[in-house]
Amino acid sequence: MYIGAAYYPELWDESEIDHDIEVCKEFGLNTLRIAEFAWSRMEPKEGKFDFGWLERVMDKLHAAGIHVLLCTPTCTPPRWLFTKYPETKTVMDTGERVEISSRCHPCKSSPIMREKNRIIVTEMAKRFGHHPALIGWQIDNELYVYDNGCHCPLCRKNFRKWLKDRYGTIENLNKEFIMDRWSLTYDSFEDVIPPKRSEWAHPSLEAAWFEFYSNLTVDYAEEQAEILHKYSDAPAGTDLMVLNRFSFYNATKKLDVVQLNHYDTARRLTRPPFFYNFIRPIKDRPFWVTETQVGWNGSKTAQSRYRPEGNCYVNTWLPFAMGGEMNLYWLFRAQRSGQEIAHGAILSAAGRPYRVSEEVKQAAQDIKKALPFLENSAVKSKIALHYSSTGENDFAVAPIVETMPYFDTILQKFHDAFWHYNVDVIEPCHSLEGYEVLISPLVPYIPKEDAARIKQWVENGGTWIVGPMTDIYDASLKKNDKAPFYFLEELAGVYTVYQKPIVNDVFKAKWQDGTPAEISTYFDAFRPTDSRALVTYDGEEFDGYAAVTERKVGKGKVILLGTVLGIDDLRKLVDLKPIANASENVRVIERSGKENGIIVAELKHEPGFVDLCGEYTDLIHERTLSGHVEIAPHEVLVLKKI
């Protein structure tokens, strides 16, 4: 298990390395992530490389038993490169080239930029590809479609080619986008101009542009991965942020390990488990958390709320509890100057630890106690929740519901309804083998091949809880002109009478036994044709129509949601038993394999409880527990089944 921090030795006197190693030993840090912004130190002049300082650092770290995650520096090319080759700089959608002031400046279409990337990555891979301290590679830094992408002539040209490859003729594009509206039809692909953020752009064009630039960004990373794989056996990944609009599945397809950066712990320690459940199934190996906050995040000002005692301890534990093998903090030592001068760290700029540093130390000690259990067990789930990158892109440009709370309200609610279950969060393309329940809210487009797989899975005995706002668009972000859905009406056995995407607290609903049901956000009114109503509207214009229906399909069933149900109501739809009875502030994770047990973590800084069925060994506190167990605020229990 790798615990550590982002480390920037290029910013400090080389004599500091020995002191830093002692700090790592004191606080239980066994991994440092280095070189991600150090291109100017490694290539101070074009074609003149200096890796001596980096090799000395890595040699010392290895001698001290500290691992290295080495980063390619392509997020921050040196100023000499941009000065000599200004065409490598991104062009904003205003037509201006960016000024060099922070990071993420390069145009990803530029042949010169690509060539310079290949050179520096090749030199690094040759020099350090088999260094004994190296455990892996990080490619670039937080790849995303920043500031609406690059709008230089080359990127525009490549976009038009991408559209032509997809649609074949301009007539097909016009038909797919329905460009006759407002007489917007294109005469040729040369007429197509990428959308500006300031314009009322066509949603289909906006979605296509983001997809194109996402694919370009993925190619930007894969080019580097190919070089690293040629000269090194160490696994390569790229540190992605918690934004699946830039698809995690596409971004990591040709990479070896999924890497994640997140800064959600201060306000919502309950949020990171969603993303751990999401990144865990992508690869058949443990994921890596490459950045999270140790104290507070910030730029020129410190940001995020106060973190109560124990918050950092639990945040250190969570990735390991949920299937990861690395947790790195940003950063080791606070910056002395620059844009992130106010950001927290394990050490202050003066080299002094904080209270939270002691929590990292305690977590490292406790994780070591539980290491055999973690290594001999894994997280396995019977419930899957769809999280669609296509859906996030579609709802970003055409949300339908005003201020669409795509993740923060809706998906989080579906996830939190099964807080005491193991849940895999997956893309629609993911295999359904091993799952008994599939939940698919807000998946506006489902490709025909995925729909066929899901239907076959249901016929074989699966329970599909689907909707709302699923199957409402095609690949070009068009609605169906024959029905409100493309295939769900027939599969679910309903006729959709009305749809109302107006958020309100007027509509009420009830279960068939008369119990009130909580509904919100979006409202479909169904008339069952070959299904039965589970929840019906109670009063107002939809009175008596179904809000939730159920239909037997083969050995399984389809439950169609026309609205967003409350957490307690969602739980009524699933027959599976929770891992354990526990308070809502407590996360329960079941692990199984050569060793079996559960991990319990309190996430809201409140007293909680868990009711255990059978006897367990508490590996951290070395005691036997059974029955009702009280959980202290931000406490973690690792319980091995006896």
Rg (CA), the chain: 26
Closest by CA to 288, choosing from 223, 221, 234, is 234
What angle do helix axes 203-231 and 170-177 make, rounded to 10 degrees? 120
Question: pLDDT tens digit string along 382-401?
Answer: 999 999 999 999 999 998 98
Does the predicted model carry a pTM greater than 0.95? Answer: yes
Query: pLDDT at position 135, please?
Result: 98
The angle at the Cα of 325, spanning 324 to 326, to the nearest 5 degrees, equals 100
Residue 533 has φ and ψ, to the nearest 5°, of -80, 135
Q: Please report where in the chains the tokens 């540093």 appear, as a residue.
A: 357
d(CA 73, CA 39): 5
Segment 591-619 shows an average pLDDT of 97
d(CA 286, CA 281): 9
291 pLDDT higher than 90: yes
For all residues of the chain together, what is the average pLDDT? 95
Question: pLDDT tens digit string along 65-123?
Answer: 999 999 999 999 999 999 999 999 999 999 999 888 788 889 999 999 999 999 999 99
State how beta strands 239-241 and 259-261 pair.
parallel
d(CA 115, CA 211): 24
CATH topology of domain 383-571: Rossmann fold (3.40.50)
- The CATH H-level (homologous superfamily) assignment of domain 582-641 is Golgi alpha-mannosidase II (2.60.40.1180)
- 195 and 209 Cβ atoms separated by less than 8 Å: yes
The angle at the Cα of 289, spanning 283 to 294, to the nearest 5 degrees, equals 170
Instruction: For residue 9, say if its preceding peptide bond is cis, omega within 30 degrees of 0.
Output: no
- Ordered DSSP codes for 397-459: H--SSTT--IIIIIIHHHHHTTTTS-EEEE-TTS--TT-SEEEE-S-----HHHHHHHHHHHH
Question: pLDDT tens digit string along 529-565?
Answer: 999 999 999 999 999 999 999 999 999 999 999 999 9
Question: pLDDT tens digit string along 293-318?
Answer: 988 888 899 887 778 899 999 999 99
Question: pLDDT tens digit string along 402-445?
Answer: 866 666 678 989 999 999 999 999 999 999 999 999 999 999 99
How is the chain split into domains, by residue range?
A: 383-571, 582-641
Closest by CA to 571, choosing from 407, 385, 468, 418, is 418
57 pLDDT higher than 80: yes
Residue 112's identity, in one-letter code, is: I
